[in-house]
Amino acid sequence: MRTRPRDPVLTSAARHVGLVVAAIGAIALVGWVFDVRLLKSVFPGLSTMKANTAAALALAGASLALVARSPLVARRHRIARVCAATAALIGLATLGEYVTQMDFGIDELLFRDTPSGVLSPGRMGINTAAAFALLGLALVWVDAERWLGLPGQLLALAGGAVALTGLIGYFYAVVPLYGIRSYTQMAVNTAAALVLLAAGILLARSDRGIMATLTSDGAGGRMGRRFLPAAIGVPVVLGWFILRGERAGFYEPEFGLALLVTATVAAFGVAAWLSAVSLNRADARLRESEARKAATLDAALDCIITMDHRGRITEFNAAAERVFGYPRADMRSDGSEFPIELTITRLPSDGPPMFTGFVRDITERRLLEDELRQAQKMDAVGRLAGGIAHDFNNLLTIIAGRARFALERLAAGGSAQRDLDTIIDASSRAEKLTRQLLAFGRKQMLTVQVLDLSEVVERMRARLERTIPEDIVIATIAARDVGRVTADPTQIDQVIMNLVVNARDAMPRGGRLTIEVSNADLDDTYARTHPEVKPGAYVMLVVSDTGIGMDRKTQAQIFEPFFTTKELGKGAGLGLSTVYGIIKQSNGHVGVYSEPGRGTTFKIYLPRVGDATAPASPEPARSTSGGSETILLVDDDEEIRDLAREILGSEGYTVLLAEHPDEALRASDRHPATIHLVIADVVMPGMSGPQLLERLKVSRPDLRVLYMSGYADGAMLQHGVLEAGRAFLPKPFTRQSLRGKVREALAASRP
């Protein structure tokens, strides 16, 4: 397998080298055919390239040109190997002739004009034969998958070293380096062609073995490519100058200096390659370390930016690209601002200072914090509103109750009667106000059932059209297969009406009102930016207008009780707070989207449920007549105790009063007869109504109970204070509601 893809430039160079080598061999063969000495030898008087040498060069060059072509098809590969093997066999056979002192007739295969009786002058030199044997085998091995062609490259280096030694011999005029005997010398053109052939073999597979080190992009590869030419050229040139100055210091200066240069070239070449290997390994470790560092930086959620002392950015991780919106190659600023957390550290360096900044975009966190603060504020305001409504209901109970008593005692007509009617009417309006506050505080009683919101909107359409003026166009849109929700239909009607009225007031010059119902799926991404929302399936109710819109500051306050942008006397500021409370109590979510001058959109999300069920049938009316039972009344408000005693006493009941739970326990102990019913406020100092009942039932197990509170029973159930199914009387109460609930509690089965 390959270490990396083949370099097309080096492969192309190898192919051209093969063609040049083949051409050199072919030219020499032409010289032999036509007996042109200039074609056989580059310089007059020097040894000529032998005929079999020329043939072997032509074969080896052709093999290299074929091996270096891409893609290497099977047929071309076979031809290349045959040519290479033939060139190697010529070299090996010639070596066999020298070793065995026998004539195999290799030199006479092409030309037979050699005089008999002497060694053939056409025989290639022993060093030439060795080079062909090595380079031919190298061509056979260089493309082998086994060992990544390393044996072929080593053979090519050995054959190239033999040929390079011959060239150095010619350069210094040292005959033993290019010819062992005068008639078996390596021709200069042969030596040059063989060096080219060795280089071409190495370039043909630069992705493998030794060449993979020298051609790599690492520090070792870059160093080797620069050092090797100097390792060969510098000793040769210096030796030539030394020889000309006769400063060699050897007995035979030419031969000694040539050997020294050859040894130096070999040593420098090996040193260059070993250094390249070492540097490549170090560079690989560095690259691996840099890759791990880059992977760590890119995996970081925070922005990591490194810059020098001049402010130039040298590192910019993936998180920084995402946050700043620019790729690393195009770092600059567009002037946008967003909140961040920043840590800057100075990197240890002997040179100019470097700094790394760790930047965390906290925009999303700020949004979450704002959402959480808003939710906490609305919850706190809701609790406050519920508490106010509770206390206010106590006062309304007293005001309305006493006014009705006074009205009953007065004769018909007269200004006093009108005043009392006014008080009772104002009390009724105040009661509606407290119901809105309880709705915002999520402390009202809901009668829930499964609803189809699209049907609710369609049912309300006629009433809505009567509410808005003619210059406002109303459109309703319902998607197919809209899911169902669990909610109080009366409260949902109030939500839609409040939103429509709010939209109407925002379009004083007319406009368009759109009510849309569809399914919606809120995922984790939405839930992360809205902490109060749970991911899941919802039904979405959208009310949009084309009115005056709102700025961000106004949007942050619109759900708060008594906040209004309308003129004094035009609104109490409880419409949207009521919407907020109803939706929250129904486990939903409400959001607003608005821009000044571009209208407002309210989105209501209610959890999606299954099919609709029929609403519970109303209970049959119970008798509201009085009775003779004994009732223990416990309330910490004296006026309410007196009012309830007066109402119940007038109905024939015996009433025992207690201001607080401890007094109720004492009153029960002092009363030996039966106590049929205890009426207790749910929330009292020191002990709750349910806790008091448990204490009383120890001695009176058949005791029945009627709870009352300024809160609604839905709030009591939600907070675990009141058990489901218990009789409950909300404040403010009237004579009719009190006596009706008393008879209902007394008629109930025993607890």
In terms of phi and psi (left: phi > 0; alpha: psi -120 to 50; beta: otherwise), the region of 631 is beta
Three-state SS string across 399-411, please? HHHHHHHHHHHCC
pLDDT of residue 715: 42
| CA gyration radius, the chain | 52
- Asked if residue 698 belongs to a domain, the reply is yes
- pLDDT value for 615: 44
Domain stop point among 189, 209, 229: 209
Q: What total of structural domains would you count in the chain?
A: 6
Residue partners of 479: CB distance under 8 A and separation at least 6: 454, 516, 517, 518, 519
Q: Are strands 654-658 and 677-681 parallel, antiparallel or unpaired?
A: unpaired
What is the tens place of the pLDDT at every residue in 538-587?
999 999 999 888 888 887 777 776 566 665 445 555 667 778 877 887 88
CA distances from 338 to 13, 300, 363, 364, 708 (A): 56, 19, 6, 10, 53
CATH number of the domain where residue 643 is located: 3.40.50.2300
With vertex at residue 680, the alpha carbon angle to CA 661 and CA 746, rounded to the nearest 5 degrees, is 130
**What is the average pLDDT score of the chain?**
76
In 210-363 the beta strands, taken as DSSP E runs, fall at 303-308, 313-316, 340-347, 354-361
Residue type, 349: S
CB neighbour class for 746 (10 Å; exposed up to 12, middle 13-18, buried from 19): middle
| Res 115 pLDDT > 90 | no
432 lies in the same domain as 489 = no
How much of the chain exceeds pLDDT 90, in percent? Answer: 15
Same domain, 722 and 586: no
Residues 501 and 639 in one domain: no
Structure tokens at 398: 């007293």
More confident residue, 240 or 559: 559
The C-alpha atoms of residue 157 and residue 163 are separated, in whole angstroms, by 10
Please give the structure tokens belonging to residue 707.
């709870």
Same domain, yes or no: 672 and 738: yes
**Is 319 a member of any domain?**
yes
- Greater pLDDT, 532 or 610: 532
Per the domain annotation, does 551 fall within a domain? Answer: yes
**Residue 452: Cβ within 10 Å count:** 18
What's the pLDDT score for residue 581? 77
Highest mean pLDDT of the ranges 398-402, 724-728, 739-743 = 739-743
In degrees, to the nearest 5, what angle opens at C-alpha 193 toward C-alphas 191 and 199? 105
Range from 29-43, 241-255, 387-401, 403-417 that averages highest in pLDDT: 29-43
Query: Quick check: is 367 in a domain?
Result: no
Mean pLDDT, residues 41-63: 87
Sign (positive/negative) of CA torsion 584, 590, 596, 597?
negative
| 74-100 and 126-141 helices, crossing angle to 10° | 150
Enter the DSSP assignment of 736.
H
DSSP symbols for 651-662? TT-EEEEESSHH
Q: How confident is the model at residue 192 (pLDDT cuts 50, 70, 90)?
A: very high
- Identify whether residues 506 and 649 lie together within a single domain: no
Decide if 625 is inside a domain. no
| 620 within domain boundaries | no
Residues 161 and 233 in one domain: no
pLDDT on residue 587:
83
Q: CA-to-CA distance for 471 and 469, rounded, in angstroms?
A: 6
Q: How far apart are CA 680 and CA 632, in angstroms?
A: 8
pLDDT the model gives residue 716: 47
Give the residue ranges of DSSP H helices in 561-637.
575-585
How far apart, in whole angstroms, are the C-alpha atoms of residue 640 and residue 663? 16
Predicted local distance difference test score (pLDDT) of residue 67 = 86
504, pLDDT greater than 70: yes
Q: Which range among 335-344, 559-568, 611-620, 624-633 shows the weakest confidence by mean pLDDT? A: 611-620
Q: Is pLDDT larger for residue 582 or for residue 701?
A: 701
Q: Tell me how far apart the alpha carbons of residues 584 and 578 are, in angstroms, rounded to a whole number.
A: 10
What pLDDT sits at residue 255?
Answer: 59
Q: Could you tell me the two tokens for 18?
A: 């093969």
Same domain flag for 432 and 554: no
Last residue of a domain, which of 188, 209, 230? Answer: 209
Residue 368 confidence (pLDDT): 65
Task: Indicate whether 489 and 507 sit together in one domain.
Answer: yes
Q: Could you say which of 265, 293, 321 is where a domain stops?
A: 293
551 and 453 fall within a common domain: yes
Q: What is the pLDDT of residue 1?
A: 37
Q: Is residue 621 part of a domain?
A: no
Rounded Cα distance between 529 and 543, Å, is 22
pLDDT, mean of residues 291-314? 71
Cβ–Cβ < 8 Å for 437, 431: no
Residue 553 inside a domain? The answer is yes
Q: Six-digit token pair at 35?
A: 């007996």
Look up the CATH number of the domain holding residue 498: 3.30.565.10
What's residue 130's pLDDT?
93
Calculate the CA dihedral of residues 137, 138, 141, 146 and round it to 10 degrees: 130
- Measuring CA to CA, how many Å separate 306 from each of 335, 338, 352, 730? 20, 20, 13, 67
How far apart are the C-alpha atoms of 136 and 194, rounded to whole Å?
11
Rounded distance between C-alpha atoms, residue 288 and residue 172, angstroms: 48
Amino acid at 633: L
Same domain for 162 and 26: yes
How far is Cα of residue 412 from the mean position of the Cα atoms in its chain?
78
Mean pLDDT value of segment 469-492 = 87
Report the distance separating Cα 457 and Cα 621, nearest Å: 32
Q: What is the pLDDT of residues 196-222, one digit of tens each?
A: 999 999 888 777 777 776 677 666 666
Q: Is it the case that residue 329 has pLDDT exceeding 80?
A: no
pLDDT digit string, tens, across residues 118-162: 334 467 888 999 999 999 999 888 776 665 567 888 899 899 989
The residue type at 64: L
**Same domain, yes or no: 477 and 543:** yes
Q: Are residues 61 and 173 in the same domain?
A: yes
Domain membership of residue 732 as a residue range: 630-747
**CA angle, residues 86, 87, 93, in degrees to nearest 5:** 85
Quick one: pLDDT at residue 395? 73
Q: Residue 736 has which token pair?
A: 């009719």
Write the CATH number for 341.
Answer: 3.30.450.20
**pLDDT > 70: what percent of the chain?**
67
Query: In terms of Cα–Cα distance, which of 625, 586, 602 is closest to 747?
Result: 625
Closest to 328 in 3D by CA, of 310, 315, 347, 343: 315
- Which tokens sit at 656? 């025992």
- Predicted local confidence at residue 490, as pLDDT: 78
- CA–CA separation, 389 and 715 (whole Å): 12
Strands, sheet with 704-709, edge to edge from the N-terminal-most edge strand:
654-658, 630-634, 677-681, 704-709, 728-730
| Of 682 and 418, more confident | 682
User: What residues form DSSP beta bridges with 305?
Assistant: 316, 357
Mean local confidence (pLDDT), 51-68: 91
| Residue that the structure tokens 């050997």 belong to | 259
At residue 216, the 3 state secondary structure works out as coil
Q: What values do phi and psi take at 307, rounded to 5?
A: -140, 160
